[in-house]
Amino acid sequence: METKFRQARGLRRNILVVDDEVINRELLSFMLREFYQVYTATNGQEAIEMLTAGDRVYSLVLLDLKMPVMGGIEFLQIRHQREDLKKIPVIVMTAETEAEVRSIKLGAADFIRKPYNMPEVILTRIERIIELYEDQHIIASTEEDPLTGLYTKAFFFQYIYRLEQSNADNCMDAIVMNADRFHLINELYGRSAGDDILRAMGRSVMRILMRADGIGCRSEGDTFFLYCMHQEDYDWVPDVISEELGKAGSSATQVRVRVGVYQNVRREILAEDWFDMANMACSGIRENYTRNVAYYDNALHVRALHQERLIRDLRAAIEERQLKVYYQPKYNIRGEKPRLESAEALIRWDHPQLGMIRPGEFIPLFEANGLIQRVDYYVWREVAAQIRRWKDELGIAIPVSVNVSRIDIYDPHLEENLLSLLREQKLSSADFVLEVTESACSEDDEQLISVVGSLRSKGFRIEMDDFGAGYSSLNMLTMLPIDELKMDIRFIREMSKDARSLKMVELILDIARFLEMTVVAEGVEEEPQYRLLREMGCDVIQGYYFSRPMAEDVFASFLQREISA
């Protein structure tokens, strides 16, 4: 036989022949056994038992209609109601033309007419049906996210392009949904709890699409994309999400889902760009807990372009030393007279086209995308070299605080890089104070404790920055080997007019005294703030009350005056 059947090129598929006539079973078995593994059943009931036994996978059923116990039509009716049987294609074997329509309605894939006098035609039709169903199954398995039932990302965009070909006149919206700190749910409650949350988010997407009419996918992890008919607002969406999360258990209620919307998508740009824009809106409210829905607009577009430029220009900024280190003095106020004790290194960006860029514009951006590590290493090198110059030229120096970002903590070479830098400049670890932001204390306790402990054992003083911003626990504070607490600047700004902020300052001072830690108050600008902090027992003050941050040459003169005074 000339036909090269798929079965001849690989694994032999299993076929079940269901017929009560022995001669028909034998005849079909003889025709098929060269290419397939053939099994037989004498009626529909026996066929169902064999198909559901679980001992083998069947690629096709050849089904007679007239049989005792259970005929072919009844078999098709049962198969039509069962998802496990629907996946197996059925070819009906009959000489009755009128039975074809009813069989098709019940899910039959094809017909083979009796008598079986054209073997090659039968084999070709069998191969075609198996191939179609297997390909359909492969496509379905790649098309659908198995956890949520939504489209996969690749198929989602394929369907968008198909929809656009016939619905280009409709106003459409692109939406991104993202769950905050989802990875902690997996760590705290297990992956099954995380899967429950993802399924709940999937149900949320389905409900949203029922109202907004569109398609959705699970893009990756805890991120979902929706493409739907334009809605004036999506303020109702968080309620849908909360309701579904509430059904997923107590752990799900701890999840905050952010929603970013790009309304009335512009067809002249790529569909993938629509969701980048929606994601910008979604990311823009990461730290804003008063909003769960954000909309992409022109201002956000301008901001996004600005941020992209900063990211692109960072390499040149480092190579051309556009990044300038400023120094702000820190005064010990425990004695009768304030005494210069140390300084903090602060970064500014003197951009050749954009002018002086303040750190609030680029530090959070680089923290979010990991580039902050390059900035930190640059600052460490600049500070180490500057301390060396102070010692060589002035014969004096003071410790300088430098930032250690969360991403630095996970760098296995962090300690060696710091020590190597100090050796290069002939400095000691006493010359650096390492500031670890409080937000870094919520990611990986064991890693943080290990790294900080090792650094402290090498002689570095460790300061927790922005304490009170709301991330770390008191238990974490007792486990971390910390020397200094720097209070979150918001408490200092508000303490003279807000009783709660004042109480927080008092509480932080009490905690620090109990744990025998030094307390630093930054952002002190006015005499009343200074006097109140002094009376309350604060140790160190930093802020405009004493001095603004100074460029390195200005600070050198300042340092010389202060030390000799």
- Quick check: 91 and 110 in contact, CB under 8 A? yes
Mean per-residue pLDDT over the chain, rounded:
86
Q: Distance from CA of residue 516 to its chain's centroid?
A: 38
- The arithmetic mean of pLDDT across residues 290-301, rounded, is 86
CATH topology assigned to domain 151-296: Alpha-Beta Plaits (3.30.70)
- Share above pLDDT 90 across residues of the chain, in percent, rounded to a whole number: 45
Q: What is the SS3 string spanning 59-89?
A: CEEEEECCCCCCCHHHHHHHHHHCHHHHCCC
Quick check: 2 pLDDT over 70?
Answer: no
- The arithmetic mean of pLDDT across residues 200-220, rounded, is 91
| Region at 264 (left for phi over 0; alpha for psi -120 to 50; beta for the rest) | left
Each residue's pLDDT tens digit, 448-468: 888 989 999 999 999 988 776
Each residue's pLDDT tens digit, 177-207: 998 877 667 666 777 888 888 999 999 999 9
> Can you tell me the distance from the alpha carbon of 116 to that of 31, in angstroms, rounded to the nearest whole number?
10
* Closest C-alpha among 204, 282, 203 to residue 237: 204
Report the run of H or E that residue 242 belongs to, with start and end: helix 237-246
- Quick check: 109 and 126 in contact, CB under 8 A? no
Residue with more model confidence, 562 or 189: 562
The domain limits of the chain are: 6-143, 151-296, 305-564
- Quick check: 278 and 227 in contact, CB under 8 A? no
- pLDDT band at residue 125 using 50, 70 and 90 as cut-offs: confident
User: Which stretch of 365-379, 396-410, 483-497 has the lowest confidence by average pLDDT?
Assistant: 483-497
- pLDDT band at residue 253 using 50, 70 and 90 as cut-offs: low
Q: Is the dihedral of CA 208, 212, 213, 216 positive or negative?
A: negative
Range 305-564 has CATH code 3.20.20.450: yes
Residue with more model confidence, 332 or 289: 332
Report the predicted TM-score, pTM, of the whole model to 2 decimal places.
0.60
50-71 burial by CB neighbour count: b if 16+ within 10 A, else e?
bbeeeeeebbbbbbbbebeebb
Residue type, 110: D
What pLDDT, on the 0 to 100 scale, is given for residue 99?
78
**CATH no. of 6-143:** 3.40.50.2300
